[in-house]
Amino acid sequence: MPLAALAVAFLALPLVAVAVRTPWGALAEELAAPGVLAALRLSLVCSLGALALSFFLGLPLAWVLARVPFRGRRIVRALVILPMVLPPVVGGVALLLAYGRQGIVGHLLEQALGITLPFTTAGVIVAEAFVGMPFFVVTVEAGLRAMDGRYEEAAASLGAGRWTTFRRVTLPLLAPSLGAGAALCWARALGEFGATITFAGNLPGSTQTMPLAVYLALQTDTTTAVALSAVMLAISLTVLVVLRDRWFRLP
Amino acid sequence: MLTLAALLAATSACGQDEGTAASRDLRVFAAASLTEAFTELGDAFMAEHPDVKVTFVFGASSDLARQIEEGAQADVLATADKETMAGVADAVDPRVFVRNRLTIVVAPGDPLAIHALEDLAKPDVKVVLAAPEVPAGRYAERILDGQGVVVEPVSYEATVKSVVTKVSLGEADAGIAYVTDVAAAGGEVDEVPIPIAENVIAAYPIATLAGSQAGAEAQAFVDFVLSDAGQKIMKTYGFLPRPTAR
């Protein structure tokens, strides 16, 4: 019991400290400072963009990993999980070497389509999807594996086509996993710092997300940094509250 | 509970004194632009003081100053500007030990034919600057403002070193960094000098810190930096000597 209490204190105290040191009286003023709203909006846009990209590419990938046996499936899964354990700054360097202007794919993108990713909002979305998508894929894949395949078989035997089965049977059964995977992916994207500042740079209004704004504000103005941190904390708490039925329900 | 406390104590003690039991640990926080010069200078200092082990923490001056204000254990602080040093209450008697100039950093061979500050304002030139929160960013801002050149950078980097990195990787076409950073980057970038009349002089102060557990060693390090031997090493990395009249 004492160890458990210590663990709770260890995890909770830093968050309490943010709340204690937040300049509540001047919070509105701090948040109205130029750049803060832009960073907040950019954070929301980019993390949702990363989530959309993860849905679009990650759902088919999770499906293949869970349902299609093929040689090298374990290697593919390891590759997918790698960004989860990779230090984000290393991810940023890797992204530069791949999708940067001189990168192995990036220089083709620029020549063929005139697209450059570094220093753009699209670059932020790419960096956030790189670190966030694995969480989505892994969670959804686990959901697909845990699903009872007999429901789908029953639907098929009753004459439902593959698309109808997927839409009417698989998706509803998968909804909790989709929700949890999306929440994890989105939260990870929202908090992304290392890969973003390395790959996409830091420009207010186009690539400076909230974590970057917090980091730079900390160098000159601790009060602003704490105020921004409090906002991020509030957003995270809100996500938890919205998802409480899923995560707080005891088995 | 006790085991955990013991574990924490043991690991934090590890951080305090690595090396032999007899050696004293000296922790020097220094501006990112000092990385190469101070690394060599630290080796020379340790050769003279075999009982002292110097550990460097390099980063944006502003970041280091904030860490010290928040209680980080440091014995010596060297920043890239006086303003940042002035914000550190614990700094004891800061003295300027070297000066530096700024320069335009471009890709090797200067493919975009950037010749002057005005060229950084061209719309097709991707410019990176250090963030205005760090000294190099403030210096760059002062230089550009002084010439009335309006630059729209693609990024404000967190340290001056990453300005050079972004140019050497080819992600950015040009940036503004210290003369010494270009020298330290070897042949990976070229420089387009900023004329002296348009440039600023960056003065680097160094100070021991009041909270230091190794006051004598800290003072010895500062003295070494200011000595002829220390100044000679700094000069080989392109730093200008400290002002002679003190």
Cβ partners under 8 Å of residue A129, min gap 6:
A49, A50, A53, A54, A189
The answer to the question of residue B88 being in a domain is yes
Residue B236 and residue B150 share a domain: no
Q: Alpha carbon of B178 to those of B142, B148, B164, B201: distances in Å? A: 14, 20, 9, 10
Give the pLDDT score at A47.
Answer: 95
Residue B234 lies in a domain: yes
A39-244: which CATH architecture? Orthogonal Bundle (1.10)
pLDDT at A149: 82
Question: Are residues B77 and B127 both part of a single domain?
Answer: no
Q: Are residues B106 and B192 in the same domain?
A: yes
Tell me how far apart the alpha carbons of residues A170 and A135 are, in angstroms, rounded to a whole number: 20
B210 domain-assigned: yes
- Write the Ramachandran bin of A6: left for phi over 0, alpha for psi from -120 to 50, otherwise beta: alpha
Q: Are residues B95 and B212 in the same domain?
A: yes
pLDDT at B11: 62
Instruction: Determine the Cα angle at A11 with ends A6 and A17, to 5°.
Output: 110
pTM above 0.90, yes or no: no
CA B126 – CA B160 distance, rounded (Å)? 16
Query: Identity (one letter) of the amino acid at B122?
Result: K
CA angle A17, A22, A27 (to 5 degrees): 165
Instruction: Of B200, B195, B104, give the one whose Cα is nearest residue B153.
Output: B104
Q: Which structure tokens are listed for B184?
A: 């330290």
Residues B95 and B207 in one domain: yes
Are B36 and B104 contained in the same domain?
no
- Is the minimum CB–CB distance between A96 and chain B shorter than 8 Å? yes
- The CATH code of the domain that includes B16 is 3.40.190.10
- Chain A CB contacts of B153 under 8 Å are 203
**Do B40 and B78 sit in the same domain of this protein?**
yes
A 10 A CB-CB count for B126 gives: 24
Q: Which domain holds residue B237?
A: 2-99+203-241
The residues of B whose Cβ lies within 8 A of any Cβ of A are 1, 4, 60, 62-63, 65-66, 69, 126, 128, 131, 133-134, 153-158, 166, 169-172
Q: Are residues A219 and B63, on separate chains, in Cβ contact within 8 Å?
A: yes
- Strand B52-59 relative to strand B91-106: parallel, antiparallel, unpaired? unpaired
A222: distance to nearest CA of chain B, Å? 8
Tell me how far apart the alpha carbons of residues A71 and A76 are, in angstroms, rounded to a whole number: 10
Both tokens of A133, joined, read 């998508």
pLDDT of residue B8: 61
Domain assignment present for B246: no
pLDDT recorded at residue A238:
84
DSSP string, chain B: -HHHHHHHHHHHHHHH--S-TTPEEEEEEEEGGGHHHHHHHHHHHHHH-TTEEEEEEEE-HHHHHHHHHTT---SEEE-SSHHHHHT-TTEEEEEEEEEEEEEEEE-TT-TT---SGGGGGSTT--EEEE-TTSHHHHHHHHHHHHHT-----SEEESSHHHHHHHHHTTSSSEEEEEHHHHHHTTTS-EEEEPPTTT--EEEEEEEEETT-S-HHHHHHHHHHHHSHHHHHHHHHTTPEEPPS--
Rounded Cα distance between A154 and A173, Å, is: 14
- Cα A171 to Cα B232: distance, rounded to the nearest angstrom: 71
- Mean pLDDT, to the nearest integer, of A85-99? 92
Q: Is the pLDDT at A68 greater than 60, yes or no?
A: yes
pLDDT of residue B19: 43
Say if residue B85 is in the same domain as residue B104: no
Q: Which of B133, B153, B170 minimises the CB distance to A216?
A: B133
Do B175 and B224 lie in a common domain? no
Please give the tally of structural domains in chain B: 2
Tell which wins on pLDDT, A52 or B10.
Answer: A52
Is residue B186 exposed (0-12), middle (13-18) or buried (19+ Cβ within 10 Å)? exposed
Which tokens sit at A183?
């929440």
CA A100 to chain B, closest CA, distance in angstroms equals 7
Q: Given an 8 Å threshold on Cβ–Cβ distance, is B133 in contact with A102?
A: no
**Which position has the token pair 């300005």?**
B163
Q: Does B156 sit within 8 Å of A203, measured CB to CB?
A: yes
Interface test with A, best of B128, B169, B171, B189 (most A CBs within 10 A): B171
Low-confidence ranges of chain B (pLDDT < 50): 15-21, 246
pLDDT digits (tens, 9 = 90+) for A130-180: 999 999 999 999 999 988 888 888 888 888 888 888 888 888 889 889 988
Residue B174 within a domain: yes
**Residues B158, A197: C-beta atoms closer than 8 Å:** yes
* Whole-number pLDDT of residue A141: 94
The dihedral over CA atoms of B216, B220, B221, B223, expressed in degrees to the nearest 10, equals 140
Residue type, A159: G
Q: What does the pLDDT look like over A193-249, one tens digit per residue?
A: 999 999 999 998 899 999 999 988 887 777 888 888 998 888 888 877 877 666 555
Q: Which two tokens stand for residue B174?
A: 């040009």
Question: Same domain for B9 and B68?
Answer: yes
Contact at CB, A96 and B126, closer than 8 angstroms: no
Dist. CA B232–CA B243, nearest whole Å: 14
